[in-house]
Amino acid sequence: MDGRTETAGGSARFHEGRDGLYINGAWRTAAAAERIEVVDPATEQVIARVPAGDARDVDAAVQAARAALPGWAATAPARRASVLEAAAELMAGQREEIAATVTAELGAPPAFAAAVHADLPTAVLGSYAELARGHAFEERIGSSTVLHEPVGVVGAITPWNYPLHQVVAKVAPALAAGCSVVLKPAEDTPLVAQLFARILDEAGVPAGVFNLVTGVGPVAGRALAEHPGVDMVSFTGSTAVGRQIGAAAGGAVKRVALELGGKSANVILPGADLARAVNVGAANVFANSGQTCSAWTRMLVDAARYEQAVELAAAAAEKYVPGERLGPLVSAEQRERVRGYIRKGVEEGARVVAGGPEAPEGLASGYYVRPTVFADVRPEMTIAQEEIFGPVLALIPYQDEEDALRIANGTVYGLAGAVWGADQEQAVAFARRMDTGQVDINGGRFNPLAPFGGYKQSGVGRELGPHGLAEYLQTKSLQF
């Protein structure tokens, strides 16, 4: 861990621009003098300070975006694609720096930071370069020509758990569509967003087309969501904040995209490969220290094999050693929140078979939580209904498929899920009845071109691939 921290904190290139906001193609001083401290969650040490932008900075960024919008919207899609391609190439070349940045400000283990936090957004950015070049921005329907035009100025508000991927998942399709953007990244993880701004600048994104304002949510985020010069708000975060943003956007009659919480079910049908399903399911929950909105945090197993699954899950948790394979949570506040949920599970009668609320042994610093597995979880328990956002897995038994479906659909969320079955047709049939936006069948791999988004209180709209591009386009029909 010491070597990781030294590498991250010691790079002179690491936080170029960290003392300014990126507005209208240049780094500029924020209106207010306040700063946000960025803390390494593994060492609890401050590694950087960034501006706490306010409504004045947001207004300047929105004005720059509005001024740049006509020129970028009129730019040929092939040219927009070339700029995105150049940015993707720069990202690939700076993989090590991106990974080190995410490791330092989020706490992600280095290998995971490189493979997921660096490589995935690079691939997504490249995919939107291809989509910009290949999308039919004009189509003929009967006697009409239908135009696909950019929605306008986009206010993007992103979370800390996947700090670059979530930025790219919004900014890339917006730029591909011809929109201009003002980004407000999460205050816990602003450094990789600053690095991304530098990359876009170097790739040739025109001044004002992309703007970055760091700041806290209730100030900069709110100002961006409510700004009359913003045509669309794209937000990823908690359902509670999403409701507020949705209400503000709806009141202003502007477009809104919300990617919110989840409490996804991992349904293991009778006859499925139990050991594989449990181990892959545990890995899914403990990846990124459980800080994944689409994590399969509820594992549903038929009663006949339930105790065997509990034993397998407890054994799997032992492989995720805090400080090694399992990184810290992003902040002290998040650590206490997760430990509070673990204590709540114990209070409500769930059985701890791995982990628990106690601090991990042998770690003098860092916001670590022990990977925790609960058995004897009832569907109505708090830990089976609310999003914990930490390395906590709840195992729930079911009696038959109808009971499993009732439990799987029995939350306010519907973001993701998984189904395992000996027969693929049976698994697909079950997945079709799940009220959720994305389901992996027998360990199907994440597809960055497939639409990502949720049912119910998990959000509005879709990200990634052509469906993600469509979110940033509006249609106009010309009749002849």
Residues 68 and 192 in one domain: yes
Work out the average pLDDT over 12-21.
Answer: 60
What pLDDT digit, counting tens, does each position of 101-111 carry? 999 999 999 99
Q: What range does the domain containing 321 cover? A: 265-447
Question: What is the structure's pLDDT at 8?
Answer: 35
pLDDT band at 248 (very low <50, low <70, confident <90, very high): confident
Catalytic-labelled residue, pool 226, 259, 387, 471: 259
| 177 within a domain of the structure (yes/no) | yes
Mean pLDDT, the chain, whole residue set: 95
The amino acid at residue 124 is V
Residues 270 and 244 in one domain: no
What pLDDT digit, counting tens, does each position of 119-167 carry? 999 999 999 999 999 999 999 999 999 999 999 999 999 999 999 999 9
Cα-based distances in Å from 228 to 242, 373, 439: 18, 47, 37
The residue written with tokens 């170097």 in the block is 202
What pLDDT digit, counting tens, does each position of 384-395 carry? 999 999 999 999
Q: What backbone phi and psi angles, to 5 degrees, belong to 396?
A: -125, 125
Extract the tokens encoding 403: 């009971």
What's the CATH code of the domain at 182? 3.40.605.10
Rounded to an integer, what distance in angstroms lies between the CA atom of residue 17 and that of residue 33? 16
The amino acid at residue 469 is L
Extract the tokens encoding 187: 């205050």
Residues 189 and 245 in one domain: yes
Question: What is the structure's pLDDT at 1?
Answer: 31
Residues 256 and 376 in one domain: no
Q: Where are the beta strands (DSSP E) in 252-350?
A: 255-259, 265-268, 298-302
Residues 437 and 403 in one domain: yes
Rounded to an integer, what distance in angstroms lies between the CA atom of residue 231 and that of residue 397? 47
Pair 283, 319: CB distance under 8 Å: no
Per-residue burial over 157-170, b if 16 or more Cβ lie within 10 Å, else e, is: bbbbbbbbbbbbbb
| 454 within a domain of the structure (yes/no) | no
What's the CATH code of the domain at 308? 3.40.309.10
Contacts 24+ apart (CB under 8 A), 107-111: 107/40, 107/41, 107/42, 107/289, 107/327, 107/328, 107/329, 107/330, 107/366, 107/367, 108/288, 108/289, 108/327, 109/324, 109/325, 109/326, 109/327, 110/4
Residues 438 and 467 in one domain: no
Number of domains in the chain: 2
What pLDDT digit, counting tens, does each position of 443-458 carry? 999 999 999 999 999 9
Confirm whether 293 is a catalytic residue: yes
Cα-based distances in Å from 123 to 89, 163, 203, 294, 473: 10, 15, 16, 19, 22
| 129 within a domain of the structure (yes/no) | yes
Confirm whether 179 is a catalytic residue: no
Question: What is the structure's pLDDT at 19?
Answer: 83
Residues 255 and 301 in one domain: no
Q: Is residue 13 over pLDDT 60? A: no
Residues 189 and 334 in one domain: no
Which strands sit side by side in the sheet containing 473-479, from one edge to the other? 138-141, 144-150, 473-479
Question: What is the structure's pLDDT at 132?
Answer: 98
Residues 81 and 187 in one domain: yes
| 63 within a domain of the structure (yes/no) | yes
In the chain, pLDDT over 70 holds for what percent of residues?
A: 96
Q: Is residue 29 over pLDDT 60? A: yes
Catalytic-labelled residue, pool 187, 293, 387, 463: 293
What pLDDT digit, counting tens, does each position of 64-120 carry? 999 999 999 999 999 999 999 999 999 999 999 999 999 999 999 999 999 999 999
Residues 404 and 280 in one domain: yes
Rounded to an integer, what distance in angstroms lies between the CA atom of residue 68 and that of residue 312? 56
Residues 359 and 470 in one domain: no
Residues 206 and 344 in one domain: no
What pLDDT digit, counting tens, does each position of 177-187 carry? 999 999 999 99
Query: Which residue in 122, 131, 175 sits closest to 465, CA to CA?
Result: 131
